[in-house]
Chains A and B, each alone.
Chain A
Amino acid sequence: MADTTTTREPDAVSTWDKAQRRIGEGPGRLLVSVYGVFTVAAGSRSAYQLIAQYHKAPLSYVLSAVSAVVYAVILVLLVRGGESARRVALLCCAAELTGVLVIGTLTIVTPSLFHDQTVWSYYGAGYLFIPVILPVTGIMWLRRAAPTPADS
């Protein structure tokens, strides 16, 4: 018998358990990884900047810290799983996308507001544009992971 097709017996895992874990598995695990990287990256960077050079660009550093918090919240929600976590994560991804778009636009329209780069400056250009791709991918994945009638 092929080993790849029988890894998960439908009866062995309850539907509750399945729904509970699903958003953090498969493609979701890739999202967990990237959100993990961004939580650490944005978190440690903004923590250092807030401590060592707060007066240089307070707004930029606080915004970076806010983005770190958003990444951390989504990370936790993805790992915890479950339907309510999925819905809250969708909201957070929407907030994240709004943040990237607003900050990205502001850095282009009124660059004088920002005395240093934030994670979301220029739509995340300093981070390979991942900050703008990530929430879109997250929303697509979380919508696809919605429970189907067969689950309930």
Chain B
Amino acid sequence: MISGLTIAVSAAALLLAAWCGYATWRDQPTKDWHVIGMAVVSLLALAQLVVAVVEVANGHKPSGGSVIFFLYAVGAVLTVPAAGFMSLLERTRWGSAIVTVGGIVLAALELRLVQIWGGGHG
């Protein structure tokens, strides 16, 4: 269950990064549609956190430790909203660049999450 969501979050995060990278390249700030995209990615990450809480409550032990796992999972939920907030402060191409980096950071966090969750039975 977690692994499916992880793939969804990673793919969505990378798409968001590419989309905002394109806006950066075109010298444009983030627009409403970008913000909706950020909301979708953030909701996916939030769903992942909820599912992880349920699975750990049902007895799954993340191989890297529960505390570390949830530190990363909460970080994953907060990454894109934080980037979005900064992009609203910075109404230039650099605001788009911030969300691009945010998407890449989230994808990297997902990779770590999979490692911490433990292979095979996610």
Interface of A with B (CB < 8 Å)?
Answer: 25-27, 29-30, 32-34, 36-37, 40-41, 44-45, 48, 52, 127-128
Contact = CB atoms under 8 A, between A and B. Distances in A.
A40 B89 CA distance: 20
A interface: dominant SS: helix
A73 B95 CA distance: 23
Interface of B: 67-68, 71, 75, 79, 82-83, 86, 89-90, 92, 94-95, 97-98, 101-102, 104-105, 108
A133 B101 CA distance: 13
Contacts of A44: 71, 75
A48 B68 contact: yes
B75 to A, nearest CB: 7
B76 to A, nearest CB: 11
B9 to A, nearest CB: 17
Which of A27, A36, A37, A41 counts the most B-chain CB atoms under 10 A from its CB? Answer: A37
B94 A40 contact: no
22 contacts: A25-B90, A26-B90, A29-B86, A29-B90, A29-B94, A30-B90, A30-B97, A30-B98, A30-B101, A33-B82, A33-B83, A33-B98, A33-B101, A33-B102, A34-B101, A40-B75, A44-B75, A45-B71, A48-B68, A48-B71, A127-B108, A128-B108
B67 to A, nearest CB: 7
Contacts of B82: 33, 36-37
Nearest to B91: A7
Contacts of B86: 29, 32-33
A44 B79 CA distance: 14
A29 B102 CA distance: 13
A127 B108 CA distance: 8
